[in-house]
């Protein structure tokens, strides 16, 4: 931290904005928007979701009651955003995938998935009609693995 001439401490490299006019603040904001990339915001959002979900799942040791509805929402949102951030992160995306896997495991172990009727990221299989007895496909009728074309 450094101290600006007015005695206001600021983090290193960040300007003291407290003495700027509205026009100067607007110009500083516009300059910041020009610098920030969408990928940066998406990555920060995913990291924030994972951190918040870990806390809501009780994985951080924070003294609060787990909220698995919030964990499920964060898992679903992370799963939706992860394909958008993986190209920007490259090999480092593995850390985010690992964190997501840990959250999904904690969610599944909590029993919240069973209580809500669907697991995190579950598709709509429950909504699909069950095949009738005469409609069984090759795998169901033989009990063996069905391989297309065989």
pLDDT digits (tens, 9 = 90+) for 16-52: 778 889 998 999 899 999 999 999 999 999 999 999 9
146 occurs within a structural domain: no
23 occurs within a structural domain: no
pLDDT digits (tens, 9 = 90+) for 113-144: 666 655 444 444 444 444 455 544 444 445 55
141 occurs within a structural domain: no
43 occurs within a structural domain: yes
Question: According to DSSP H, which parts of 1-150 are helical?
Answer: 22-35, 38-56, 68-89, 93-110, 112-116, 138-142
Give the model's pLDDT for residue 61.
86
Higher-confidence position of 96 and 111 = 96
80 occurs within a structural domain: yes
Closest among 51, 119, 39, 112 to 82, alpha carbons compared: 39
117 and 89 in contact (C-beta within 8 Å)?
no
What is the domain range of residue 76?
Answer: 37-113
Phi-psi region at 43: left, alpha or beta (left = phi > 0; alpha = psi -120 to 50): alpha
pTM of the model: 0.61
Looking at the structure of the chain, the number of domains it has is: 1
Tracing tokens 């955003």 back to the chain, one arrives at 81
Mean pLDDT, range 80-91, rounded to an integer: 94
135 occurs within a structural domain: no
79 occurs within a structural domain: yes
6 occurs within a structural domain: no
């Amino acid at each position: 931290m450094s101290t600006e001439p007015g005695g206001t401490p600021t983090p290193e490299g960040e300007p003291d904005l407290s003495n700027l006019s509205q026009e100067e603040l607007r110009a500083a904001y516009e300059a910041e928007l020009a610098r920030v990339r969408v990928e940066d915001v998406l990555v920060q959002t995913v990291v924030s979701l994972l951190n918040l979900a870990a806390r809501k799942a009780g994985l951080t040791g924070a003294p609060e009651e787990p909220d698995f509805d919030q964990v499920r929402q964060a898992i679903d949102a992370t799963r939706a955003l992860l394909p958008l951030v993986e190209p920007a992160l490259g090999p480092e995306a593995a850390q985010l995938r690992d964190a997501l896997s840990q959250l999904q495991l904690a969610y599944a172990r909590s029993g919240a998935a069973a209580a809500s009727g669907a697991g995190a990221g579950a598709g709509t299989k429950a909504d699909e009609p069950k095949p009738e007895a005469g409609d069984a496909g090759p795998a169901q009728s033989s009990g063996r693995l069905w391989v297309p074309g065989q």
